[in-house]
Amino acid sequence: MRTPAPETRPIALTIAGSDSGGGAGIQADLATMAAHGVFGTSAITAVTAQHTRGVESSFALPTAEVEAQIDAVTDDFAVGAAKTGMLATTEIVETVAGHAREFDFPLVVDPVMVATTGDRLLEPAAERAYENLLGEATLATPNADEAEVLTGIAVEDADSAREAGNELLETDVDAALIKGGHVPGEQVQDILVTADGSQTFEHPRIDTEATHGSGCSLAAALAARLANGDPLADAVAGATDFLARAVRYYYDVGEGPGAVNHAVDLRNAAAREATTEEVEIILERVVTADVSALVPEVGMNIVGATPYAESVDETAAVEGRIHRTLSGVQPTRGVRFGASSHVAGVLLELRESVPDLRFAVNCRFDDAFEEALETLEWDIAEAGEADARDTAPAVVLEAGGDSTEPMAYVVATDLQTLLERVLRLDETVEDAERSTRS
């Protein structure tokens, strides 16, 4: 018989509707909470027949059943934070507000009124009942449309978002996060308003309609972070970063636009060890093959990005680079995350237009290299134009400056392709050099 090894996790509660399509509602909430290391509990308020294209039908549960679920959870679990989602009816809103008065933990209220698809999820009379619920909440997270319903203020820019946020504070909610996803612009601005002022959290807008479940997931991430003990501003910063990545790398499921990827951070973290191992494999091969003909004066680096990498810290590279020696090419040190800035930056920039790109190696760009490229007839792009493509080039060329040498970057979506390209290039460049010498 084995000795048990129990694990203690913070606990969060979602009070929301069920989405049969899995992208929103309690399904999204519980997946998001798990991804944040929190044990999720739930009180279901309504059952929807729903998918990525819309809501087919909705059935609100009797308030007694909603109450029973909340009581069951709060009587047994040490809840660290809670969030609300679809509450459906005036009676359920009032019921939840009544229980919220007894909560001794933070409450995030996502005033779900209309689904992303445009389907109404709340009866009109219930909108007026939200004031009491907001008065018991730590944070409200309305989008622009919901903020207008609750305050009468049309949210069209940052100033009107702050105005709406301040109006919501009159309900006695501690803070309001006015979400900017429905406000036009190249940047999405989520504005946190408290009694002490406002703070803006900005992210580039993702060119996609696959935002099903985005509001639920953001509120669940906020509740999870608050359950973990994060201060409010830190929770908002982390949750909005999480959502930006979850939308960019969305789940391509269903016949509609798709759904946000609730597990994106979890999977990205899980891929770190494998990414390090892949860079180490490439390093071993280029050292064994002695690719001296490709190593620039500043040294060569090999960079591997995790599948959902958004920053240099999420790329593995050779610390100190790879240099030519009398006994062949040798790395200065081993592979670690965040070890490259320039080559990693080039790779991350390319990933803006071709997110599948995972690997890059920088090489010297001289006459022999250029001759080799002409022989190989690969897809080549100039730096600056490469990030405007929707297909990945094999090589990106970067002109040198007054104090920098010209550089070439071999890129690929997978380890094997990168290895084949680098070794083939090395062989072809050596042939070109021999031809020049003879």
Amino acid 121: pLDDT: 61
CA 279 centroid distance within chain: 23
Q: Is 6 domain-assigned? A: no
Which of the four pLDDT bands, split at 50, 70 and 90, describes residue 347? very high
SS3 192: strand
More confident residue, 225 or 211: 225
Interval 350-376: pLDDT, tens? 999 999 999 999 999 998 899 999 899
User: What's the domain range around 172?
Assistant: 11-269
* 256 and 282 housed in the same domain: no
120 has pLDDT over 80: no
Q: Mean pLDDT in the chain?
A: 92
* 404 and 383 housed in the same domain: yes
* 94 and 232 housed in the same domain: yes
CATH of the domain at 86: 3.40.1190.20
Region 265-294: mean pLDDT is: 96
Place of tokens 């105005």: 163
Q: Give the global pTM.
A: 0.90
* 261 and 339 housed in the same domain: no
- Give CA separation, 416 vs 334, 350, 430, in Å: 21, 19, 21
Which of the four pLDDT bands, split at 50, 70 and 90, describes residue 437? low
* 260 and 283 housed in the same domain: no
Interval 151-164: pLDDT, tens? 999 999 999 999 99
Amino acid 122: pLDDT: 65
Q: Give the contacts of 65 (CB within 8 A, at least 6 positions apart).
A: none
Structurally, how many domains does the chain consist of? 2
Measured CA angle at 287 (ends 345, 381), to 5 deg: 35
Q: Where is the domain boundary, 251, 269, 287?
A: 269
SS3 357: coil
* 257 and 282 housed in the same domain: no
* 305 and 229 housed in the same domain: no
User: What is the distance between the terminal CA atoms of the chain, rounded to a whole angstrom?
Assistant: 75
- Give the span between the Cα atoms of 352 and 343, in whole angstroms: 15
Q: Where is the domain boundary, 269, 286, 313?
A: 269
* 432 and 311 housed in the same domain: yes
Q: Give the contacts of 126 (CB within 8 A, at least 6 positions apart).
A: 87, 88, 89, 90, 92, 93
Q: Where is the domain boundary, 269, 293, 326?
A: 269
* 142 and 232 housed in the same domain: yes
